[in-house]
Structure 1
Amino acid sequence: MIKEIEVVCPPGQQDDQAFLKTLASAGSKIPQNRITGVKVLKRSIDARGRKVVYRMQVRLYIDEPFKPETFERSYKKISNARRVIIVGAGPAGLFAALQCIQNGLKPIVLERGKDVKQRRRDLANINKQGLVNPESNYCFGEGGAGTYSDGKLYTRSTKRGDVKGILETFVAHGATEDILVDARPHIGTNKLPQIITAMRESILEAGGEVIFDAKVTSLMVDFGTIKGVKLADGERLQADAVILATGHSARDVFEMLHHQNILIEAKPFALGVRIEHPQEIIDKAQYHCENRGPDLPPSYYNLVEQVDERGVFSFCMCPGGIIAPCATDTDEIVVNGWSPSKRNNPFANSGTVVQINMEDIPGDMNDPFRMLNFQQQVEQVAFKAGGGNLVAPAQRMVDFVEGRLSVDLPVNSYLPGCRSVELKEVLPGWIHNRLKKALPVFGRKMNGYYTNEAILVGVESRTSSPIKIPRDRDTYQHPQVAGLFPCGEGAGYAGGIISAAIDGVNCANGVSKYFG
């Protein structure tokens, strides 16, 4: 017999199978000797009361053998199958490739950057010397932006596809089973490279291909139908379907499409700063205690407020995290955040951004690059304000709100370094003013948040793509080019690892239907 119940567990004992049996027995009124195993289905922290607890949905196995689930990498061989070109090896591209294999198709994955191991050298050059390789950085390379910027798997995209199946694929390639049960699952930047490598190996073992340093410079289109792609080195690769999963920072891809008269559209996005606090401030506020102790993880937060008819909200919150330089060109500042799996760094950071609507940016409403050009201009202003070498403009929080230059800046995690700047000189006035109004309100919502111990680092500008590549809702194909499947964050259809992975699966299934 199987029975599902909820149990409440004190921190530190949520992984103790014997203790869970005791709780399960008390909660179900079934003797412990009849319970052969307890499987945790969902687990979340509840900090609303005086004591912080774990609320857990568990499945009891009663009077029958308990067999733990296993997750295996098992894919059919497709070496001689019909070819599908996938441009980009981020989560959308990798999951599209694995789904193509499941569907009996051969994926040819083209990645402009390097594999995860070689990417590390370029990231070291970014952090230590302020040198950006436009083809290999925090955004470009195997695994995409998520590989070296955290691996948070929280998503609201549950209606778009099989979230559980995506998580199980990660587990089959090396992620811990915790991601299957935690309310806010997280892999960690230190673990993601091995998982991404294992996914590549699954593609290769099945007969697919993964090619690095392969930058696509044009699409081969004949009478409105895709025929393949042309690479920067002049090589032409033929296929009857192309999944375009290039990420939100591949500006040259948007230019390529526009040059080939393939429709793209401007779309709204959000822009602001990354805010970093000492982690202990966030823990005290969220756990209502002086010291969270060893049994609780570093706490997170989620804040949102409407200010002058625009949303101001926290985004990509990284407990125990690090602020990273995520520029893709040499004259811009872009910041993001990441955490290792243990989230054991002394700082907590989060993007804090203002929603930008189409009418906020002046110019030709039909110009597809209007929002992208605005994004790029702000990043370049931030670079100049920092003074070069990826030094970022920054300001203490209360100083920002009260309009004064910070005399000094707190110790922080941004390795290239920060320069004290009045951020009103970097951010457009209507964004600056909304942030200025929102931060004290956030402080009233979360005790201790509004403090000069917090630093604002500019700019957080790659929250989502400022351009959308249109596609048919049912077939996933571009309306002008048969066999072209815009996919993931870069096309405007995802906003994180899980939603991008789901979109990759959906596009691969769209290819199968297209092939018939």
Structure 2
Amino acid sequence: MKKNLTLQLSPEEAYDPEVFKNTVLKKSGLSPETPHSFARQIRRSIDARGRKVIVNVEAELFLNENPGSLLDHFPEYQDVHHSEPIIIIGAGPAGLFAALRAIELGVKPIVIERGKDVRARRRDLAAINKEGIVNPDSNYCFGEGGAGTYSDGKLYTRSKKRGDIRRIMEILVAHGATEEILVDAHPHIGTNKLPILVAKLRESILEAGGEILFETRVEDFLIENEEIKGVKTQDGETIKGLGVILATGHSARDIFMLLDAKKVYIEAKPFALGVRIEHSQNLIDKIQYHCEIDRGPYLPAAAYSLVQQTEYQGKQRGVFSFCMCPGGFIVPAATSPGELVVNGMSPSRRDSKFANSGMVVSVELEDLPQYQKYGALSAMHFQAEVEQRAWEIGGKNQTAPAQRMVDFVNRKVSSSLLDTSYQPGLNSVEMREVLPDFISARMAMAFKAFGQKMKGYFTNDAQLIGVESRTSSPVRIPRDRESFEHPQIKRLYPCGEGAGYAGGIVSAAMDGERCAEKLIAAYVKK
């Protein structure tokens, strides 16, 4: 017998497995000693709006019955060793899931990745953290798994229009993620577990007969009569296929420049730019959970989401939190020497004493009149100049410019900075020297408003660390709404965050699957 229950539980009842089972049995009118009983959660979300934190749980109780698996989708990968190939540029979530979907459909993927495999990539991350050395082909953005590998691994997405979210989640579980990601309303995997999962995705591709070429950078597109035939790599090797899925991520500026130079149609795209805000996790817990000391042993590290409309020089723009990392770390995410970029990540336990979040301002193309001379690359050049200025003002290494929050609003250089999770270290500066006026003015307005929404958020016990500039691609590579094919170049399928069609691991994975399906439907013989 199976019974479904909708429950409102305390944190202990929801997160302690033994207490949870006993609670379910009791609410079902049964004894905790009931034999052959099994209880599990199928959906869980935290409601911290009241003074007392409640966990909303949908549960299943099984009596004398095998509960079976939570998985509905078990991927089956065909042998594609001798199948016709398609080319996938980039081994981030979009590229990897495009490859897996191609294999399911009987087509051989050749994945070209400029960076290293996930294990070798670690050495380059250590170099940028400890020595400030940026490898332009292997860093926090480039390499196996893309930027998502070394991130919080957030899997929550509102993008339901281009794919099946549950299917993506179940493929991740089949490759090593815990079933918890199928249960939590805001699931995440954690930067310590993502590399293992990414390596298993690679194994599935290779075992089925797909190819992955690491440390292979695309330097030219082979285009004839407005149709892409293949690519040329940095070694002069030519690789051809039935079509090309371009899934390079939001930081592949050389690819954007190559497309522009070859007169392939691309366009400038609005994005967002700002800083990382770092508080103590204990402070965020106290604000969000209304606790006096700490959140206790059961609740996860608290997150937040903030947005505020601001008006500056007659223009309305949003200021919003982005990629909030509870119990996390701030890391250097530059992709070229001479620039400074920061990003956030969290381990699976989210047990760092710091909470960080991007705090960014919407940048519209009309905000950048002096960059219009760059055409489709106008927003990209603006982004790059801010990153270069941050590098110079930070000290011409990976030391990040920083300022306490209230000091920033009051235009005061901080006499001292707080402890930080950012390993290369901080340099106290006036952040208005780093950020454009229209960015810093809007952030100063928003911080005061956020202090009203979250009492205690606006404090000098928090600091701005800059810059957070890789929120999304500053370039869109257009594609047909129905076919997903580039409107000018046949057999070219722009994909994922780098093309402007996704914003996170799950939406990028879904977009990768759809691009593979569209390409194969159009060009692979049945």
TM-score (norm 2): 0.95
Matched residue, 1:425: 433
Does the Cα contact within 8 Å between 2:223 and 2:230 map onto a contact in 1? Answer: yes
Q: 1:366 to 1:374 in 2, by over 3 A?
A: closer
Question: Comparing 223-232 with 298-307, which one deviates more in the overlay?
Answer: 223-232
Tell me which amino acid in the other structure corresponds to 2:331.
A
Matched residue, 2:396: 388
Matched residue, 1:58: 59
Q: 2:416 aligns with which of 408, 416, 435?
A: 408
Q: 2:377 aligns with which of 369, 373, 388?
A: 369
The reply to whether residue 305 of structure 1 matches residue 312 of structure 2 is no
Matched residue, 1:252: 254
The reply to whether residue 292 of structure 1 matches residue 300 of structure 2 is no
In 2, the alpha carbon distance for the partners of 1:4 and 1:417 equals: 51
Q: 1:512 to 1:31 in 2, by over 3 A?
A: farther
Matched residue, 1:10: 10
- Spell out, residue by residue over 1:104-128, the C-alpha distance to the aligned partner (whole angstroms, 9 max, x if none): 1000000000000011000000000
Secondary structure class of the residue paired with 2:294: coil
Secondary structure class of the residue paired with 1:233: coil
Secondary structure class of the residue paired with 2:14: coil
- Spell out, residue by residue over 1:352-394, the C-alpha distance to the aligned partner (whole angstroms, 9 max, x if none): 0000111111043881011111101111111111011211110
1:436-447 paired onto structure 2 within 5 Å: 436-447=444-455
Q: 1:150 to 1:21 in 2, by over 3 A?
A: closer
In 2, the alpha carbon distance for the partners of 1:199 and 1:348 equals: 30
Does the Cα contact within 8 Å between 1:285 and 1:447 map onto a contact in 2? Answer: yes
Q: 1:314 to 1:35 in 2, by over 3 A?
A: farther
Offset, 1:9: 2.2
Question: Comparing 366-375 with 22-31, which one deviates more in the overlay?
Answer: 22-31
Question: Comparing 71-80 with 382-391, which one deviates more in the overlay?
Answer: 71-80
1:193-212 paired onto structure 2 within 5 Å: 193-212=195-214
Offset, 1:23: 3.6
In 1, the alpha carbon distance for the partners of 2:365 and 2:27 equals: 53
Query: How many aligned residue pairs are there?
Result: 516
The reply to whether residue 486 of structure 1 matches residue 494 of structure 2 is yes
Offset, 1:38: 2.9
The reply to whether residue 351 of structure 1 matches residue 353 of structure 2 is no
In 2, the alpha carbon distance for the partners of 1:215 and 1:492 equals: 21
- Spell out, residue by residue over 1:6-59, the C-alpha distance to the aligned partner (whole angstroms, 9 max, x if none): 112222342555544444455556788598433322111121223223211123
Matched residue, 1:360: 367
Tell me which amino acid in the other structure corresponds to 2:339.
E
Secondary structure class of the residue paired with 2:51: coil
In 2, the alpha carbon distance for the partners of 1:28 and 1:348 equals: 39
In 2, the alpha carbon distance for the partners of 1:76 and 1:36 equals: 39
1:29-178 paired onto structure 2 within 5 Å: 33=34, 36-61=37-62, 64-69=65-70, 74-178=76-180
Secondary structure class of the residue paired with 2:391: helix
Secondary structure class of the residue paired with 1:368: helix
Secondary structure class of the residue paired with 1:294: coil
Matched residue, 2:460: 452
Structure 2: give runs of 5+ residues left out of the alignment: none
In 1, the alpha carbon distance for the partners of 2:261 and 2:195 equals: 35
Q: 1:499 aligns with which of 507, 512, 522?
A: 507
In 2, the alpha carbon distance for the partners of 1:365 and 1:167 equals: 43
1:297-336 paired onto structure 2 within 5 Å: 297-308=300-311, 309-336=316-343
Secondary structure class of the residue paired with 1:374: helix
Does the Cα contact within 8 Å between 1:107 and 1:208 map onto a contact in 2? Answer: yes
CA RMSD of aligned residues (A): 1.7
Does the Cα contact within 8 Å between 1:318 and 1:349 map onto a contact in 2? Answer: yes
Q: 1:5 to 1:35 in 2, by over 3 A?
A: farther
Tell me which amino acid in the other structure corresponds to 2:484.
Y
Does the Cα contact within 8 Å between 1:35 and 1:60 map onto a contact in 2? Answer: no
In 1, the alpha carbon distance for the partners of 2:152 and 2:37 equals: 37
Offset, 1:158: 2.2
In 1, the alpha carbon distance for the partners of 2:36 and 2:43 equals: 19
TM-score (norm 1): 0.97
Does the Cα contact within 8 Å between 1:149 and 1:339 map onto a contact in 2? Answer: yes
In 1, the alpha carbon distance for the partners of 2:29 and 2:427 equals: 62
Secondary structure class of the residue paired with 1:369: helix
Tell me which amino acid in the other structure corresponds to 1:348.
A
Offset, 1:347: 0.3
Secondary structure class of the residue paired with 2:146: coil
Does the Cα contact within 8 Å between 1:321 and 1:339 map onto a contact in 2? Answer: yes
Tell me which amino acid in the other structure corresponds to 2:496.
G
Does the Cα contact within 8 Å between 1:36 and 1:66 map onto a contact in 2? Answer: no
- Spell out, residue by residue over 1:125-183, the C-alpha distance to the aligned partner (whole angstroms, 9 max, x if none): 00001010000000000000010122111111123211111111111111111111111
Question: Comparing 1-10 with 176-185, which one deviates more in the overlay?
Answer: 1-10
In 1, the alpha carbon distance for the partners of 2:324 and 2:467 equals: 15
Structure 1: give runs of 5+ residues left out of the alignment: none
In 1, the alpha carbon distance for the partners of 2:346 and 2:505 equals: 15
In 1, the alpha carbon distance for the partners of 2:141 and 2:258 equals: 19
